[in-house]
Every structure is written in structure tokens, then in C-alpha cells.
Amino acid sequence: MNLLENIHSVWNLLGRNKIRSFLTMLGIIIGISSVIIIISVGAGAQSLILNQIKSQGSNLITILPGNSDPKGPPASVIGVEITTLKLENIKKIMNGSFSALIAATGYVKGTDTVTWESEKTDTTFTGVNADLVIVEDTGVATGRFFTEEENNAMAKVAVLGSDVAKNLFAGDNPVGRQIKIKKTMFNIIGVMKVRGNSGFQSQDNQIYVPIITAQKLLLGIDHISNARFKVDTAENVNPAMEYISQIMRQEHNIDNPENDDFSVRSMEQSLSMISTITNVLRFFLAAVASIALVVGGVGIMNVMLAAVQERTREIGLRKAVGAKNKYIISQFLVETSMITFIGGVIGIIMGILVSFLVSVIAKKLGYSWDFVVSIWSIVMACVVSIGIGLIFGIVPAKRASKLDPIEALRYE
């Protein structure tokens, strides 16, 4: 019996036992679809983060507290609070001789239930410098942003994100009114333009206050979480990074760069670092999901072993009329391969549909989410599904080929 005859025979067999065939494929379907979904959704989430970073421009430099390997994340990124970065460091850098640096801001964050009269909303307050609108290329829709003089004077002024303004004031103009943040009253001087989401955080559901006010009155700290600098052109980014590193070492009395207690990153380096981290997470999750493929393969092997038992007389009859062991083996290998291949195709289709649905929902929620299904993942899914069929079909196939034809014909 040649390969085409085997395939035709197996196809008829699967058609006669549709429910059983589907249940046999189910483990492979779940495993393949899980891998496709995780790879696709992971790529979409990665594109979301990278697209939003790219949208901020290529001429940004970030200082993060804590040293790191050039290709790895600083300690502050992985959840370790480091207090070595100060607001004075930014001022020293901006007051220096490197004219390509055109704007800078530090950042500190906190959360609170903000109130206005009887209205309340849970939100994030962010302490920044007046240069935020230049650094992040944004602006206000109503009113104005605070000045650096107000920042230095610890002014109790606030600029609301568009969502905060809607939640508290229901469409009314909030400029000139007062809100309470951590028992301190702030005068509202502006409302930001709609900014959408950055990463997985809404930029419109936060309140901007002068960074010194946030440090002293709201958080009780003297350090900052990170700082950003805007360079006039992308060509000056690398010289600017060298200049910033030199000033930071002078400020922190560091002679050996290996002892740096800070990390200076360009946008390109940040993109590379984030891509590396997200790729590792994607493939780790895909590897975990692949366990379902092994479970599905074991299930198929058990079903095929039972099939050998059920078809003992058939196998004996075929051997009695001259079928060789290799033909019996090929028949069962083709059967398991077809089961896993069909299951793999169904799993790929399901995975693509679910991934597409996730991307549609994410876009409706305002995220810049790309629908990504790579060709190699589909090809690999097909190859893996057939490979599982061959690997887990060997044991049943060999058991079938070793049946004694006389004993098999006597089997009831």
C-alpha cells in the first residue's frame, strides 16, 4: 500500500469516527492555538510598547538610577528603589556648556483619591518640570502649564489629564477651581490635550504637578525616579550621552565608570533593551504553552494503542495476505501524522482568530496594537504537529507490526 492509498484509507477512517477523531485532536488543537496566541499577542504587546516609545522621537535620552550591563535593565527597572538620582543633577547638566540639550524633566509618581467637592476619582499624580511639554512634545487644551518659577516656589498648582477632568467635572471647565490631593489643596491651571495610552498606562488619567511640590508636600522624598532630556538632533544624541555621563560622575564623585550608580540610555538603546526583554518573555511563555503539545501527543499515543487493540483482527488479516511490517508501521504513522496535522491546522486557525480578536479589542480601547502572526510560527506549528504524530505514533505502529497474524486472526 503506497502513501496516497494510506492517506485515503486514514481519511475514510477519520470520517467514520468524527467525534472520536476530534477528541483525539483536541490536545494538539489547544497546544498549537496556545502557542500561536502567545506568540502573536506577545508580538502585539511588544509593538504597542515600541510604537509608543518611537512616537516620542529618536532624540530623547533617559537617566535611570542604578548601574546595569549595557544590554540589561537598570535595577530601578526591575523593582529596586534607588535614591541616588536627584533633581540637582538635572539642573547641573542643563546649566552646563552642552548646547544641544534643549529641555529636561525629572519624574516622580504617586497615587491618591483626588476630590473636588463631592466628586472623587482614583488617579496618578506625576511631579515633573515645566519642560515636560517640550520633552514629550505635548501641550494643554485649556489653560496653561506651570512654569519653572512656580516649580521652584513649590506652587500648589495642577494640570489635569483629560480623563481626570471628565471624571471630576463632567465636561465643565475646571480651570480656576481647586482639588484636594493628599489633604493639600491645588489650584487647577490647565487641562492636557488627549494623549492616549503609553505602554499599558493611560496618559490621560493623571495629574501633573510641579516636581518639587510633589517631592516635598506629597511624597516626602528628595530623589527622583528618572529623568529625560531632549536633544536638538538625533546626531547629537551620542555626544550628549557622553556629556551627561561625565557630569553625573562629577556630581556623584565617581572615577571609575564601572562604579556608576546611574544608567544613561538613548531611545535606540531603550528599544533594544525592551525588545530583548519582551522576546525572552514571549518565548518563555510559548515554551510553557508547548507543554500542552506534549500532553496532546501522549493522548494521541494512548488512543492509537487502543486502536491497535481494537483492530487486531484487521492487522492480522493484512499480515496474513502478505502485508509487511513496514507497511503496517507506515499505516499507523500516517494515521497519527494526519490526526496531528489536521489538529495543527485547526489550532493555527483558532490561534489566528483569537489573536485578531485581541488586536481588535486592544485598538478599540485606544492601544496602538499591531496584529502580528509570523509565517515562521505557522510553519513551525505545522512541522511540530506532524513531528508529534511521528514521535508518539512510533510505539503503537511498532506494536501493531509485531502482532502474530495467526494469533491476531483468533483475537475476539
- pTM beyond 0.75: the answer is no
Strand partners, 127: 108, 209
Whether residue 32 has pLDDT greater than 70: yes
* Top-ranked range on mean pLDDT: pick from 46-50, 59-63, 287-291, 402-406: 59-63
Band the pLDDT of 219: cuts 50, 70, 90: very high
Band the pLDDT of 307: cuts 50, 70, 90: low
Whether residue 255 has pLDDT greater than 80: yes
Between 6 and 219, the higher pLDDT residue: 219
Q: What percent of the chain is modeled with pLDDT above 90?
A: 28
Tell me what the mean pLDDT of segment 345-359 comes to.
Answer: 87
In tens, the pLDDT along 396-406 reads: 667 666 666 55
Band the pLDDT of 15: cuts 50, 70, 90: low
Instruction: Give CA–CA dist 226/128, Å, rounded.
Output: 10
Q: What percent of the chain is modeled with pLDDT above 70?
A: 75
Q: How far is CA 335 from CA 11, 21, 232, 292, 309, in A?
A: 8, 11, 65, 21, 15
Closest CA to 126 of 142, 118, 114, 143: 114
Closest CA to 47 of 379, 266, 230, 282: 282
Domain boundaries of the chain, sorted by first residue: 3-52+280-410, 83-260
DSSP label at 118? T
Whether residue 64 has pLDDT greater than 80: yes
Band the pLDDT of 344: cuts 50, 70, 90: confident
Between 375 and 177, the higher pLDDT residue: 177
Tell me what the mean pLDDT of segment 350-379 comes to.
Answer: 81
Burial of 92 (C-beta count, 10 Å sphere; 0-12/13-18/19+):
middle
Whether residue 371 has pLDDT greater than 90: no
Instruction: Give CA–CA dist 191/91, Å, rounded.
Output: 27
Tell me what the mean pLDDT of segment 24-33 comes to.
Answer: 79
Return mean pLDDT, the chain. Answer: 80
Distance in Å from the first CA to the final CA of the chain: 26
What is the pLDDT at residue 313? 65
Whether residue 43 has pLDDT greater than 70: yes
Residues 127, 213: contact at Cβ < 8 Å?
A: yes
Instruction: Give CA–CA dist 255/8, Å, rounded.
Output: 76
DSSP label at 194? P
In tens, the pLDDT along 139-193 reads: 999 999 999 999 999 999 999 999 999 989 887 899 999 999 998 999 999 999 9
Q: Which residues in 11-100 belong to E strands, given as ranges?
A: 60-65
Instruction: Give CA–CA dist 385/319, Å, rounded.
Output: 30
Instruction: Give CA–CA dist 275/266, Å, rounded.
Output: 14
Q: Which three cell numbers stand for residue 243?
A: 556629556
What is the pLDDT at residue 175? 93
Tell me what the mean pLDDT of segment 195-202 comes to.
Answer: 66
**HEC letters along 28-42:** HHHHHHHHHHHHHHH
In tens, the pLDDT along 127-143 reads: 999 999 999 888 999 99
What is the pLDDT at residue 334? 76
Tell me what the mean pLDDT of segment 314-330 comes to.
Answer: 67
